Structure 1
Amino acid sequence: MVSALVCNGSRVLTVEEATRIRDRIEKPSSRALFDLLLYSGMRLSEVRQLRDNPAIYDHERGTITITSGKTRATQNTRNVCLSDKGRRAVEDYLKIPSVPNSPTAWQANLIRWAQRARIQALPGKEESNNPAGLTVRTTRKTWESWLLSAHPDKLPYIVLSQGHNEMISIRHYLNIAFTKAEKEAIKEQVKGWGCTS
């Protein structure tokens, strides 16, 4: 059995795991939010910006312009670059935009869906309240890991899109050990990605 992937305390999903979780989300607005978070790598606070001001999404350019709320932000504003699935996720989300009241509520949903999807427990976590290790950062970490797996040559563009610096990306995401089959599946998920493509 292939072991689960973890990055800095948060689960990183394979395409198969993400699909299984998504299939357990009954509510259309929650499914749209999951897709948006997964295919953009945005934080919940950034999704609120999109909900409150849909004009920050530029369909033609395939970007969402995010204004940072962090005092020590790497960038004050950044363009979140989207893939084909990312554009579709934004458009589906904007039809029924919702954001949970708290990150804790969203994490509780992720944990529940992962349990329903029978996502493999992390070693030593089998009896915990969160055996699969999903956190509110899981979709963000998953997306950046997928992008770096498919496009290691685009590291500068990926870190700018995600609002990180190169050292963080290299240290946390570039070394995720996806199998060959998982990497092939990832290429389909990230198709069309980039502010430069």
Structure 2
Amino acid sequence: MEPIIINFKEPEKNDRRNIIQMKTRILRPAEYEKLRSNCDKPHQTFFDGLLLSGMKLDEYRYFLKNPSLFDGKLIKLPEIRSKKRIIVRQRSVKLSLKGRAIIKNIHRSLDANSMPENQSYIKYLKRIAIKANMDTEGLNLKCFRKTWESWLIASYPYRIGEVLLSQGRTTISTLKDYNNLSFGRDDLLEMKEWVEDW
């Protein structure tokens, strides 16, 4: 099957007024399993948590340093601001059954203070994709959040508002990224294991 690639616009990190065009990959469940099976245990745990929380990397790192934000069902993120912008939007991040199981024990597996830089994760991700005989186009750390959003919207089309709120989205324009994604019947069946009881 062809990889699912979406294009989106995002402010540049150093100059938020400058909008850049980006590509990211939406993983099918079978593709994620291929990547996952080629990871060592710490990376597998890191990627599972990133996927199943749907958080941005800054939010995820903040949560890993503050495990008490998880109440057993939700991750309750406070608003965090820098001088120029909101880094984390206050919200409750809903988790699936599998997500709750992974997040509950994630702090035993990952040391938030010794996590590598983003570029190290991206290089590792591309290396395991090559090892798994996968195309690396669009593989980046954003693909986990975008993949999770697309799986939730495909699995729970009647709960789009809830999905957007849990993901910290402020506009419905996000939906244009996920409209008409080419998930097959097998993809939708394989998603169930991941999104169950969200």
Q: TM-score range by the shorter chain?
A: 0.7 to 0.9
Question: Once the 2 structures are TM-superposed, how far is the Cα of residue 150 of structure 1 from its aligned partner?
Answer: 0.2
- The count of residues paired between Structure 1 and Structure 2 equals 179
Higher strand share: 2
Cα–Cα, structure 1 residues 72 and 173, in superposed 2: closer, same or farther, change >3 Å?
Answer: farther
2:170 paired with 1:165? yes
1:64 is matched with which residue? 75
Equivalent-residue separation in structure 1 for 2:117 and 2:100 (angstroms): 25
Identical columns (%):
30
What is the root-mean-square deviation of aligned Cα atoms in Å? 1.9
Question: Once the 2 structures are TM-superposed, how far is the Cα of residue 186 of structure 1 from its aligned partner?
Answer: 1.2
2:129 paired with 1:114? yes
Equivalent-residue separation in structure 1 for 2:160 and 2:88 (angstroms): 16
2:103 is matched with which residue? 90
Question: Once the 2 structures are TM-superposed, how far is the Cα of residue 72 of structure 1 from its aligned partner?
Answer: 5.5
Consecutive unaligned residues in structure 1, runs of 5 or more: 122-130
Partner deviation per Cα, 1:73-125 (whole Å, 9 max, x = no partner): 59840111000111112123121223533221111111111111111x2xxxx
* TM score, norm. by length of structure 2: 0.83
Equivalent-residue separation in structure 1 for 2:130 and 2:88 (angstroms): 37
Equivalent-residue separation in structure 2 for 1:168 and 1:63 (angstroms): 25
Q: Which has the higher contact order (CA 8 A, sep 6+)?
A: 1
Cα–Cα, structure 1 residues 172 and 72, in superposed 2: closer, same or farther, change >3 Å?
Answer: farther
Are the equivalent residues in 2 in contact too, given 1:38–1:139 (CA < 8 A)? yes
Question: Once the 2 structures are TM-superposed, how far is the Cα of residue 167 of structure 1 from its aligned partner?
Answer: 2.3
* TM score, norm. by length of structure 1: 0.83
2:143 paired with 1:138? yes
Q: Supply the AA of the counterpart residue of 2:118.
A: P
* Structure 1 stretch displaced more, 168-177 or 69-78: 69-78
Question: Once the 2 structures are TM-superposed, how far is the Cα of residue 177 of structure 1 from its aligned partner?
Answer: 1.6
1:190 is matched with which residue? 195
